[in-house]
């Protein structure tokens, strides 16, 4: 099937012709808010185990260049840096998501975009413009390929396309080269079976690091003259998705995450937190914990974790951590705190139940409720709840600032975090992006608690 030339023209116009001043103030503010959230997440994620492993891999496997690997500060070429920084962006599972795609658009291109921003010496406005382009093309590609292939693709698959779009913009590809890059990215994007990482977690997760690697490869291949035409998004069936570019902005429908674990367990965390606040009980009094949720949540890992991936893609551990420590933050999900000897006994008390009524509203809504049975016979019940930060809630810039403080307080002094936040919010858009990126690089390496053991 051949692409619709009109759709391809509109897509290329959106990628290549849009400038910062073309966007409304509302769209600009949303871009800064998303950038703030992703930046706060990546400076925390760069410190953990998977980020370090990815950094070691690219240091051994890719040529030197002018792009910084956030986890180590080493310089590598653009393709290698995109891979490593892509891992850092999703390492803590704290990055934004899009419910109808069951995935993570932002982290799916953010590491590559940071690397391309450094590579191209762009301005802050140019970077934020590419950020918007990457969001809007990633999400649209996600809708298109899921319909085309009739299969539940991972974030890494559709974000490869958005990566190619944003990176092509930043490094100045021609119109023809950009078309080729999009075609290559569409064709070689990783078709990750993401749900397998729910059953048996590993660093593969949602294929996010590989999608960025692939997207940047597509750009550099096109720059070298390699061709790749006919991306699915430009087929006739998806013309409405392309025609809405510049009019509808899907990134307003993102959710923001406040717990370092899979989104599917955030509503049970909310229920447990509410029960802790509402009733006076001790953890030792709990006889049984019944979690009622949509079926997909029950596919997550259920054993006591031995590594960060098993902690994050787990339906039971985040609940146990919230009961025991009061939260499920990066410390609970990526350090040896998860090996607390009390965790296994709490996990044994948790039973998952699939509520078919909740299935009817998934994936648009992720509903859950929790019942605690105490040893004295009392049963404490939460109402049906949805996760914090969903699209039907009003997540403010201050909410994101508080999130940044919370997830980075173990590693960085608050005064430095305040400077970081102010830099993102106050820097003139015509200033070099490096003004901000230098602070991201600095804080990615910062750790005032070097005794923390990441596993």
Instruction: Determine how many CB atoms are found less than 10 A away from the CB of residue 132.
Output: 25
Cα gap 77→275, rounded to integer Å: 50
Cα gap 206→95, rounded to integer Å: 12
Express as a percent the part of the chain with pLDDT over 90: 89
Please indicate, yes or no, whether residues 212 and 280 belong to a single structural domain of this protein.
Answer: no
Please indicate, yes or no, whether residues 272 and 217 belong to a single structural domain of this protein.
Answer: no
Domain boundary among 230, 253, 276: 253
Look at the chain and report how many structural domains it folds into. 2
Q: What is the mean pLDDT of residues 290-317?
A: 94
Q: What is the mean pLDDT of residues 189-194?
A: 83
**161 in a structural domain:** yes
Instruction: Determine how many CB atoms are found less than 10 A away from the CB of residue 92.
Output: 28
Reduced DSSP (H G I as helix, E B as strand, rest coil) percent helix, strand, coil of the chain, to 5: 60, 10, 35
Are the C-beta atoms of residues 232 and 8 closer than 8 Å to each other? no
Please indicate, yes or no, whether residues 185 and 319 belong to a single structural domain of this protein.
Answer: no
At 132-191, the pLDDT tens digits run: 999 999 999 999 999 998 877 789 899 999 999 999 999 999 999 999 999 999 999 998
**91 in a structural domain:** yes
Cα gap 142→148, rounded to integer Å: 10
Q: Which DSSP helix (H) or strand (E) runs through 43?
A: helix 25-45
Please indicate, yes or no, whether residues 272 and 236 belong to a single structural domain of this protein.
Answer: no
**100 in a structural domain:** yes
Which CATH number fits the domain that encloses residue 345? 3.30.1330.120
**440 in a structural domain:** no
For residue 203, the model assigns a pLDDT of 87
Please indicate, yes or no, whether residues 188 and 121 belong to a single structural domain of this protein.
Answer: yes
Which CATH number fits the domain that encloses residue 172? 1.10.4100.10
Please indicate, yes or no, whether residues 192 and 121 belong to a single structural domain of this protein.
Answer: yes
Tell me which residue of 162, 241, 340, 302 sits closest to 4, measured CA to CA.
241
**453 in a structural domain:** no
Please indicate, yes or no, whether residues 249 and 267 belong to a single structural domain of this protein.
Answer: no
Cα gap 398→161, rounded to integer Å: 31
Range of the domain at 311: 263-381
At 354-413, the pLDDT tens digits run: 999 999 999 989 999 999 999 999 999 999 999 999 887 789 999 999 999 999 999 999
At 198-215, the pLDDT tens digits run: 788 888 888 899 999 999
Cα gap 218→322, rounded to integer Å: 42
Please indicate, yes or no, whether residues 239 and 267 belong to a single structural domain of this protein.
Answer: no
Please indicate, yes or no, whether residues 139 and 227 belong to a single structural domain of this protein.
Answer: yes
Domain boundary among 381, 411, 428: 381
Please indicate, yes or no, whether residues 242 and 317 belong to a single structural domain of this protein.
Answer: no
Q: Which DSSP helix (H) or strand (E) runs through 288?
A: strand 286-293
**171 in a structural domain:** yes
Please indicate, yes or no, whether residues 97 and 231 belong to a single structural domain of this protein.
Answer: yes
Q: What is the mean pLDDT of residues 8-22?
A: 97
**399 in a structural domain:** no
Domain boundary among 359, 381, 403: 381
Q: Which DSSP helix (H) or strand (E) runs through 211?
A: helix 208-223
For residue 150, the model assigns a pLDDT of 85
Q: Rounded mean pLDDT of the chain?
A: 95
- What does each C-alpha distance from 178 to 6, 88, 121, 168, 212 come to in angstroms? 16, 27, 19, 6, 16
Please indicate, yes or no, whether residues 201 and 295 belong to a single structural domain of this protein.
Answer: no
**410 in a structural domain:** no
At 28-43, the pLDDT tens digits run: 999 999 999 999 999 9
Tell me which residue of 309, 301, 262, 253 sits closest to 87, measured CA to CA.
309
């Amino acid at each position: 099937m051949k692409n619709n030339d009109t759709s391809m023209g509109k897509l290329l116009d959106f990628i290549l012709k849009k400038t910062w001043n073309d966007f409304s103030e509302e769209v600009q503010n949303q871009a800064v808010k998303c950038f703030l959230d992703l930046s706060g997440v990546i400076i925390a994620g760069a410190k953990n185990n998977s980020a370090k492993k990815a950094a070691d891999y690219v240091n051994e496997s890719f040529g030197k260049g002018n792009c910084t690997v956030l986890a180590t500060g080493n310089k590598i070429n653009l393709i290698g840096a995109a891979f490593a920084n892509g891992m850092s962006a999703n390492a803590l599972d704290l990055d934004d998501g899009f419910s109808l795609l069951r995935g993570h658009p932002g982290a799916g291109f953010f590491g590559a975009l940071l690397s391309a921003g450094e590579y191209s010496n762009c301005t802050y406005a140019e970077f934020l413009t590419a950020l918007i382009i990457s969001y809007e093309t990633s999400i649209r590609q996600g809708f298109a390929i899921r319909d085309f292939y009739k299969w539940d693709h991972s974030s890494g698959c559709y974000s490869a396309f958005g990566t190619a779009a944003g990176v092509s913009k930043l490094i100045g590809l021609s119109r023809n080269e950009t078309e080729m890059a999009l075609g290559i990215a569409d064709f070689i994007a990783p078709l990750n079976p993401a749900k397998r990482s729910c059953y048996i977690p590993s660093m593969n997760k949602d294929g996010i690091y590989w999608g960025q690697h692939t997207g940047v490869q597509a750009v550099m291949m096109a720059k070298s003259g390699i061709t790749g035409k006919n991306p699915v998004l430009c087929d006739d069936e998806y013309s409405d998705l392309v025609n809405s570019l510049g009019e509808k902005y899907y990134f307003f429908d993102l959710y923001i995450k406040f717990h370092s674990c899979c989104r599917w367990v955030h509503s049970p965390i909310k229920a447990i937190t509410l029960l802790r606040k509402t009733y006076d009980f001790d953890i030792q009094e709990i006889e049984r914990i019944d979690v009622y949720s949509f079926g997909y949540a029950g596919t997550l890992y259920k054993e006591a974790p031995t590594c960060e991936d098993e902690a994050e893609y787990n339906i039971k551990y985040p609940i146990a951590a919230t009961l025991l420590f009061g939260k499920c933050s990066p410390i609970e999900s990526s350090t040896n705190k998860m090996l607390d000897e009390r965790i296994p006994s709490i996990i044994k008390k948790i039973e998952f139940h699939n509520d078919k009524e909740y299935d009817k509203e998934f994936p648009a809504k992720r509903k859950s409720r929790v019942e605690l049975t105490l040893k004295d016979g009392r049963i404490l019940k939460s109402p049906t709840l949805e996760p914090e930060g969903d699209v039907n809630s009003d997540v403010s810039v201050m909410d994101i600032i508080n999130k940044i403080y919370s997830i980075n307080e173990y590693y960085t002094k608050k005064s430095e975090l305040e400077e970081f936040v102010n830099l993102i919010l106050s820097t003139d858009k015509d200033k070099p992006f490096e003004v901000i990126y230098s602070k991201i690089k600095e804080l990615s390496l910062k750790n005032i608690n070097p005794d923390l053991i990441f596993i």
